[in-house]
Structure 1
Amino acid sequence: MSRLFEETTVGTVKTASRIAMAPMTRSRATRDGHATDIMAEYYGQRSTAALIITEGIQPSRTGQGYTNTPGLHTEEQVESWKPVVKAARSNGAAFFAQVMHAGRISHPDNSGTEPVAPSAVRPEGQLFTYTGMQEYPTPRELTHDEIVGIIEEHVVAARNAVAAGFDGIEIHGANGYLTQQFLSVSANKRTDEWGGSVQGRIKFAVEVVRAVAEAIGPERTALRISPANLIQGIEEGDSRELYLALVTELAELPLAYLHIMEVAGNRELTKELRAAWPHTLVVNPHRDADPLQPHEAAQDALEDIGADLVAFGSSYLANPDLPERLAAQGPYQPADQSTFFGGDHVGYLDYPTLKA
């Protein structure tokens, strides 16, 4: 366990350990996308992490997918984040804002706008909205100029994050949202420069990362991916070819980190991506074997993959003092899934620490 508690550097921040808090949508913002006081307390409770990555933050109204998610596209939203940033960084954590455009995983009842996507392909299923469960509508296919505009929205959100005091941003390229929709052969049916071949399908991700890195510096820029994550109607074709091409294309940029959300059965590809990526790697690990205790999963990711930091999701949600529990190798509290999305302090601020 000693390497988990070694110092490292995330971007420009020197950290006391290699423990990261993964991004998790919690839907505790206001309806107009402002961060709230309970969000400041939530992140402050978990501020002993080395790296904290926020829940997905929309870069525009069109980018909003879910109810009560925060934004970084108005001055009021930027101001609302400042006390959250102060709380999250109170114990030396690097604090990164995850910028997430939902693309077709959206509904007008939530965003007030028509969903957009690489192609007009409707995802199956329903979405919870302010007016109840609704079928996904068919998204409108983006024009070339609109794609360029969304890249610029990421740049503006990145600059707003820096203005709010964040150490950087993580571009959400995983879990079936807009960036992975461009990577997908099922959601992206384009035949222009933004689709078709592997190079065409990685173009949006590459251009967003490059534009943000140019605007705020590569040391403040990160990318999250979830290779072979067949979620929300996503099919990627050859995931190995796709992600090795993406990582190779971005390897020249000394980004703050690349964040891999590992999918079951995907360990060999994770290792290949590690070998292709010369900079800091954050891994949210997943094994096919019997579920590992968090401290075992961390050690496995460090030793088997060669990760630089290990990210935890629900384990961090339910254990605000997770570094202390990892050092003691437990005990760990289970997460209450009924309180994951929306609500008040219950299941959000009331998980006790070991000291308590």
Structure 2
Amino acid sequence: MTDILFQPYTLNPTLTLKNRILMAPLTRCMADADLVPTQAMTEYYGRRAEAGLIISEATIIRADGQGYPNTPGLFTPEQIAGWRKVTDTVHANGGKMFAQLWHTGRVAHPHFYHGEHVLAPSAEAVEGSVPRMRELTYQVPKPVTKQEIEQLVADYAQAAANAIDAGFDGVEIHGANGYLIDQFLHHDSNKRTDQYGGSPENMARFALEVVDAVIDRIGNDRTALRVSPGAYFNMAADDRDRDVFDYLLPALEQRDLAFLHVGIFDDAMEFGYLGGRASSYIRSVYHNTLVGVGSYTAETGSEAITANKFDLLAIGRPFIANPDYVAKVKSKAPLVAYSDEMLTSLV
């Protein structure tokens, strides 16, 4: 049933994956105090190089993008050098790796970068506190100015260039899961009345500017994007959100990205304004390479690929529990069950 997962898959003339299994981005909060990848991280990713493609844990593009402790960066020479050790090891073990580029927007916290403001599309705060640091509560963000938006776009592009310098095969821009780019794409978090808010075209503008800047810097063949049409994480749903993605997804298709990645934790979730699952909605609008994710097993993921629901399968927590996930699935060996205790160390 899982044979389709082990077929090579050509993303474009530049990149061919040895199988259709991707390691999903998994935030582990294990970088050092300067947000530099550690030797333990190098070994952790190296052990998972049998995946057709590893997508790194979310990696911040600049200091004020940090919203969790010890998340790695890609904006200092030391961070770039640390990631180079990771990618060299993955490549030596026969793998490929994309960096996931991240700014958390309104769920950042000044504690991490000794700043004054949290930046977001609008002054719309998230309730609650920072995971793993519950004493830090979220703040009302400062709406970004046009000049600050231009700088953010430039910083995404620079982070993409840094990723290539660090040996990554490409980047996945994190435009999903309630973080900065996603905040522009949903009415709950975007109340702007300028050229970045109000209409679908305006609300999609920042995402497309980031994508275009990254493409200009490293090429569309090495640029991917993760999106969450369904608002569900740090975000309230709004029926008008569909209009934004009805505009955005065809525009992305024209840019011929390496792939588009569904941003969902459980793809069994359904959204009324999308007419069902996020993956089904995206597939109906976007016809290029699509990565499915969200509580799939190798078997159910294979069935979805065979049914043309998506093209590649990203696996998350089972990869934490099973560094040899690909080999186990291929040999039909039993998998180790994931448990939250596994988050305390890198294995």
- Using structure 2 for the length normalisation, give the TM-score: 0.92
Report whether the alignment pairs 1:298 with 2:301. yes
1:280 alignment partner, one of 285, 289, 295: 289
1:151 alignment partner, one of 150, 153, 167: 153
Please show how residues 1-356 of structure 1 align to structure 2 within 5 Å: 1-11=2-12, 12-113=14-115, 114-128=117-131, 133-262=135-264, 263=267, 264-265=269-270, 268-286=277-295, 294-340=297-343, 343=344, 346=345, 348-349=346-347
Question: Which AA in structure 2 matches 1:315?
Answer: P
Cα pair 2:36 2:79 within 8 Å, conserved: yes
Instruction: Quote how far apart the aligned CAs of 1:276 are.
Output: 3.0
Residues of 1 paired with 2:311 and 2:338: CA distance?
A: 26
SS in 2 for 1:104: helix
Q: Over residues 81-137 of structure 1, what are the superposed CA-to-partner deviations in whole Å (9 max), with x where a residue is unaligned?
A: 11100112233322100001000111111232221100011110111476x522111
Mark the CA change 1:265 to 1:128 in structure 2 (over 3 Å): closer, same or farther: closer
Residues of 1 paired with 2:255 and 2:65: CA distance?
A: 26
SS in 2 for 1:235: coil
Question: Which AA in structure 1 matches 2:178?
Answer: G
Question: Which AA in structure 1 matches 2:282?
Answer: L
Residues of 1 paired with 2:231 and 2:254: CA distance?
A: 25
Q: Over residues 267-300 of structure 1, what are the superposed CA-to-partner deviations in whole Å (9 max), with x where a residue is unaligned?
A: 55523422432322111145xxxxx6x2222113
Residues of 1 paired with 2:35 and 2:278: CA distance?
A: 37
Cα pair 1:34 1:77 within 8 Å, conserved: yes
Unaligned runs of 5+ in 1: 287-291, 350-356
Q: Please identify, of 53-62 and 260-269, the stretch whose mean Cα deviation from structure 2 is larger.
A: 260-269
SS in 2 for 1:172: strand
SS in 1 for 2:107: coil
Instruction: Quote how far apart the aligned CAs of 1:309 are.
Output: 0.9
Cα pair 1:99 1:172 within 8 Å, conserved: yes
Instruction: Quote how far apart the aligned CAs of 1:239 are.
Output: 4.0
SS in 1 for 2:209: helix
Instruction: Give me the identity figure in percent.
Output: 38
Mark the CA change 1:269 to 1:103 in structure 2 (over 3 Å): closer, same or farther: closer
Number of residues paired by the alignment? Answer: 337
Residues of 1 paired with 2:132 and 2:19: CA distance?
A: 39
Residues of 2 paired with 1:88 and 1:276: CA distance?
A: 34
Residues of 1 paired with 2:293 and 2:92: CA distance?
A: 24
Q: Please identify, of 60-69 and 330-339, the stretch whose mean Cα deviation from structure 2 is larger.
A: 330-339
Residues of 2 paired with 1:64 and 1:76: CA distance?
A: 17
RMSD: 1.8
SS in 2 for 1:62: helix
Unaligned runs of 5+ in 2: none
Cα pair 1:122 1:136 within 8 Å, conserved: yes
Residues of 2 paired with 1:209 and 1:26: CA distance?
A: 26
Question: Which AA in structure 2 matches 1:6?
Answer: Q
Residues of 1 paired with 2:93 and 2:304: CA distance?
A: 25
Cα pair 1:127 1:135 within 8 Å, conserved: yes
Mark the CA change 1:177 to 1:268 in structure 2 (over 3 Å): closer, same or farther: closer
Q: Over residues 206-236 of structure 1, what are the superposed CA-to-partner deviations in whole Å (9 max), with x where a residue is unaligned?
A: 1111110111100010000122131113434
Q: Please identify, of 51-60 and 86-95, the stretch whose mean Cα deviation from structure 2 is larger.
A: 86-95
Cα pair 1:271 1:305 within 8 Å, conserved: no
Cα pair 2:187 2:241 within 8 Å, conserved: no
Residues of 1 paired with 2:326 and 2:132: CA distance?
A: 35
Cα pair 1:117 1:178 within 8 Å, conserved: yes
Residues of 2 paired with 1:250 and 1:227: CA distance?
A: 13
Structure 2 counterpart of 1:353: none
Q: Please identify, of 155-164 and 238-247, the stretch whose mean Cα deviation from structure 2 is larger.
A: 238-247
Q: Over residues 170-215 of structure 1, what are the superposed CA-to-partner deviations in whole Å (9 max), with x where a residue is unaligned?
A: 0001111001111111111100010111111111111111110111
Q: Over residues 35-85 of structure 1, what are the superposed CA-to-partner deviations in whole Å (9 max), with x where a residue is unaligned?
A: 110000000010000010001111110111110011111111111111100
Residues of 2 paired with 1:32 and 1:88: CA distance?
A: 22
